[in-house]
């Protein structure tokens, strides 16, 4: 037996026990001829003492031992001498006096420190992920993830859900990204597609009468690597029969309330029940459909007032069908010109031509790009609408409404970060509903589903699909948490005619539709219950609960930002013979194609 106890479990009550421990050398100190080692395993740290008077051989061997060596010891648990206790350690009242020491495996010097939470280059961390995962923070993140998933499984099991695995080698399930394809050896020229989600299969499970399905499902989407996307990610995929939108939302809402209570009780949910925002309301108030509700600074539409100003920038925007909206950055009225220029540069990245402002300084002065165009009454009307007080900075964007939303939505979050308004211990969940059913794709001159093509329109909006599709709303819902969409779902179409109508609306050729989704259309003719579901993203949820800035921190073996596994070096070329077996020939892109 290597160990009788873990390194985290010995207490004063174990005083005098003979124990065996095994783990990694976390830290080592020599003190007055005695060697102290903090021995670490996944469960904690314990101090072991090598005293030349008690075991000269062990003490001598310990001299050669370095950080991260794997060792095993036998010894006796002792109360630490008065004053030597460590209150920060669960085992801090005791130490283990070693009689016998075994080196199980030495270690090279790690490329970064394991025993300190020091910044290390991310690619180095990913290359040596097995070392990175030894660090306390990563160990906690991986454990948190386990708790989240375990909670979800138990919760759903108690409510009659079945966890069912669905294939990874399947056919395209479009979720708005490119498919990862897997060539078939036995069927030359044919390919499986890895699921972008198990969407079709979970719907087919409803046709199969499962009624309540879930899966902790891996999904694959070949997207351009922006921000913290991963080529493969995990979601809680869930589907229910005989439900309306409210039924799915209520279940998921309760699941998250209970999950927070159980798994991260130190965090506080801002509002229960979760606020429900209509899509348009979310856009008007926050400029985005995944708003952060932890702070105010909402967008205010002043187009009607701006129109009276005679300021040409405002006039132009409104003449072109746009609008003028602003936010009140409370307390920033004394920002210098240079600081405001920084904000202007920030919004320009997202398409705004500039940022108009009125700084109402704490001394009561007005500094502004356009106040000279305003009559005292008009200025007062703007101040009233924006609830401006001395010391406030009013920031405005005048443009096409999409640009106004995009830039002010981002500026609002950018300022909240600067102003420290983003309390990581507060969880502001909300639902966003009543999305437009389809959105116009100007490039391809067709309608795109705003969710996916199996989502049902609102029943009362079905006639609009023929006359004014842009006005129809979908039966979909997004769950939002602190500035992130953490899951989306919908009530589905369960009727062949309506599904075909939607395929047609989004310009899917009937032959292509039949080839890709014929099995779904056929299934819908064999008694399909009304059904709906959702798919919250596990990576993102864990990231927020762990207070991490990106999902790589909560995934054991993520790809880097260039979609590479730098540890195993994947993707990598394969042997010519393998390609031959797969009937594949590689045509390398030319330099110009690469960019």
Burial grade of 401 (CB within 10 A; 0-12, 13-18, 19 or more): middle
Omega before residue 245 within 30° of 0, cis = no
> Which residues, numbered 178-217, are part of the site for ligand ASP (CB under 6 A)?
197, 199
Residues facing 241 on adjacent strands: 531
- CA 507: distance to chain centroid? 32
* Residue 205 DSSP class: H
In the complex, what is the shortest distance from the CB of residue 150 to ligand ASP, in angstroms, rounded to a whole number? Answer: 22
Distance between CA atoms of residues 568 and 564, nearest Å: 9
Q: Three-state DSSP class for 592?
A: helix
Contact 533, 237 (CB under 8 A): yes
**Exactly one of 95, 132, 175, 406 binds ligand ASP (CB under 6 A); which one?**
175
CB of 216: closest distance to ligand ASP in angstroms?
Answer: 13
Min CB(449)–ligand ASP separation in Å? 11
Q: Residue for token digits 């995009």?
A: 406
Q: Which stretch binds ligand ASP (CB under 6 A): 52-60, 70-78, 463-471, 483-491?
A: 483-491
> Judged by CB under 6 A, which of 230, 309, 450, 490 binds ligand ASP?
490
Which position has the token pair 């992920």? 129
* Tokens read off for 269: 């949910």
The secondary element (H helix, E strand) that includes residue 408 is helix 401-418
The residues, any chain, with a CB within 8 Å of residue 193's CB and separated by 6 or more, are 170, 171, 172, 173, 179, 180, 181, 182
Find the part of the chain contacting ligand ASP (CB under 6 A) among 30-38, 226-234, 305-313, 529-537: 529-537
Beta carbons within 10 angstroms of residue 586's beta carbon: 8
Closer to ligand ASP by CB, 370 or 454: give it: 454
Torsion from C-alpha of 425, 426, 431, 436, nearest 10 degrees: -80
Which residue in 287, 333, 489, 558 binds ligand ASP (CB under 6 A)? Answer: 489
231 vs 533 by CB, closer to ligand ASP: 533
User: Is residue 533 part of the contact set for ligand ASP (CB under 6 A)?
Assistant: yes
Contact positions with ligand ASP (CB under 6 A) in 347-406 = none
To the nearest whole angstrom, how small is the minimum distance from the Cβ of residue 220 to ligand ASP?
11
| Binding-site size, ligand ASP (CB under 6 A) | 9
Show the beta-strand stretches assigned E in 14-122: 18-31, 34-41, 44-50, 70-79, 94-105
- Cβ at position 214, least distance to ligand ASP in Å: 11
Nearer to ligand ASP, 533 or 558 (CB): 533
CA distance 89 to 396: 52
Taking the complex as a whole, the smallest distance from the CB of residue 305 to ligand ASP amounts, in Å, to 40
Instruction: Give min distance, CB of 386 to ligand ASP, in A.
Output: 37
Would you say 291 or 488 has its CB closer to ligand ASP? 488
Among 449, 488, 538, 541, the residue binding ligand ASP under the rule CB under 6 A is 488
Query: Which one, 199 or 328, has the nearer CB to ligand ASP?
Result: 199
Query: Comparing C-alpha atoms, which of 550, 555, 547, 545 is closest to residue 262?
Result: 545
Q: Which is nearer to ligand ASP, 279 or 357 (CB)?
A: 279
3-state DSSP call for residue 191? Answer: strand
Is the Cβ of residue 149 or residue 366 nearer to ligand ASP in the bound state? 149
Nearest approach in angstroms of CB 507 to ligand ASP is 21
In the chain, what is the straight-line distance between the N-terminal and C-terminal CA atoms, in Å? Answer: 58
Near ligand ASP by CB under 6 A, which window of 53-61, 404-412, 466-474, 527-535? 527-535
- Write phi, then psi, for 462 (nearest 5 degrees): -60, -40
The CA distance from 515 to 511, in Å, is 6
From 243, 327, 535, 542, residue interacting with ligand ASP (rule: CB under 6 A) = 535
Angle at 379 between CA 375 and CA 385, to 5 degrees: 145
Query: CB of 489: closest distance to ligand ASP in angstroms?
Result: 4
- Rule CB under 6 A: say whether 450 interacts with ligand ASP: no
Nearest distance, CB of residue 199 and ligand ASP, angstroms? 4
Rank residues 322 and 489 by Cβ distance to ligand ASP and give the closer one. 489
Tell me: does residue 438 bind ligand ASP (CB under 6 A). Answer: no
Least spacing, CB of residue 540 vs ligand ASP, in Å: 12
Can you list the alpha helix ranges (DSSP code H) found in 480-509? 496-505
For 576, other C-beta atoms within 10 Å of its C-beta total 10
What whole-number distance in Å separates Cα of residue 462 and Cα of residue 468? 10
CB of 51 vs ligand ASP, minimal distance in Å: 60
Q: Which is nearer to ligand ASP, 61 or 486 (CB)?
A: 486
Q: Which is nearer to ligand ASP, 41 or 237 (CB)?
A: 237
Q: Residue 409 or residue 474: which is nearer to ligand ASP going by CB?
A: 474
**Which residue, 23 or 449, has its beta carbon nearer to ligand ASP?**
449
Which residues of this protein are in contact with ligand ASP, per CB under 6 A?
175, 197, 199, 488-490, 533-535
């Amino acid at each position: 037996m290597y160990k009788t106890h873990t390194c985290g479990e010995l207490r004063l009550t174990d005083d005098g026990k003979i124990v065996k421990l095994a783990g990694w050398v976390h830290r080592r100190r020599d003190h007055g001829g005695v060697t102290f080692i903090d021995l670490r395993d996944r469960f904690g740290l314990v101090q072991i003492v090598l005293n030349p008077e008690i075991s000269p051989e062990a003490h001598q061997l310990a001299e050669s031992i370095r950080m991260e060596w794997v060792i095993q010891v036998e010894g006796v648990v002792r109360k630490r001498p008065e004053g030597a206790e460590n209150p920060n350690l669960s085992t801090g009242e005791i130490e283990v006096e070693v009689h016998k020491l075994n080196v199980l495996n030495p270690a090279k010097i790690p490329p970064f420190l394991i025993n300190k939470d020091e910044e290390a280059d991310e690619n180095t961390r990913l290359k040596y992920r097995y070392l990175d995962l030894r660090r306390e923070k990563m160990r906690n993140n991986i454990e948190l993830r386990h708790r989240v998933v375990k909670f979800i499984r138990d919760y759903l099991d108690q409510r009659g859900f079945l966890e069912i695995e669905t294939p990874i080698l399947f056919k395209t399930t479009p979720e708005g990204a490119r498919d990862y394809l897997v060539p078939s050896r036995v069927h030359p020229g044919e390919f499986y597609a890895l699921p972008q989600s198990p969407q079709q299969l979970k719907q087919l499970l409803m046709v199969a009468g499962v009624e309540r399905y879930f899966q902790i499902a891996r999904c694959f989407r070949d997207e351009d690597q922006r921000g913290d996307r991963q080529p493969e990610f995990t979601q809680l995929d869930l589907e229910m029969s005989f439900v309306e939108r409210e039924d799915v939302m209520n279940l998921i809402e309760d699941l998250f309330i209970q999950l927070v209570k159980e798994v991260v009780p130190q965090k506080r949910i801002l509002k229960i029940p979760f606020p429900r925002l209509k899509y348009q309301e979310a856009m008007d108030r926050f400029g985005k459909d995944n708003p952060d509700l932890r702070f105010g600074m909402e967008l205010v539409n002043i187009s009607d007032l701006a129109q009276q100003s005679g300021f040409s920038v405002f006039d132009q925007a409104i003449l072109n069908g746009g609008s003028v909206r602003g936010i009140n950055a409370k307390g920033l009225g004394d920002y210098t010109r240079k600081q405001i220029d920084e904000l202007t540069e920030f919004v320009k990245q997202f398409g705004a031509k500039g940022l108009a402002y009125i700084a109402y300084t704490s001394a009561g002065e007005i500094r502004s790009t356009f106040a000279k165009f305003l009559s005292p009454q008009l200025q007062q009307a703007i101040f009233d609408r924006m609830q401006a007080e001395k010391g406030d900075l009013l920031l405005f964007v005048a443009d096409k409404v999409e640009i106004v939303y995009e830039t002010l939505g981002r500026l609002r979050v950018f300022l909240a970060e600067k102003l420290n308004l983003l309390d990581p211990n507060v969880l502001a969940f909300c639902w966003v509903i009543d999305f437009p059913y389809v959105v116009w794709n100007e490039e391809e001159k067709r309608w795109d589903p705003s969710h996916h093509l199996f989502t049902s329109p609102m029943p009362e909006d079905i006639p609009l699909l023929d006359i004014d599709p842009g006005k129809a709303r979908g039966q979909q819902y997004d769950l939002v948490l602190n500035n992130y969409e953490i899951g989306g779902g919908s009530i589905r179409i369960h009727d062949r005619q309506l599904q075909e109508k939607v395929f047609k609306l989004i310009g899917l050729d009937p032959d292509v539709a039949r080839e890709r989704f014929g099995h779904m259309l056929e299934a819908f003719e064999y008694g399909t219950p009304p059904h709906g579901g959702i798919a919250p993203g596990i990576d993102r949820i864990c990231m927020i609960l762990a207070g991490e800035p990106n999902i790589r921190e909560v995934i054991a073996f993520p790809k880097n930002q260039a979609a590479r596994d730098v540890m195993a070096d994947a993707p990598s070329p394969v042997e010519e013979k393998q390609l031959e077996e797969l009937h594949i020939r590689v045509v390398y892109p030319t330099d110009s194609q690469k960019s």
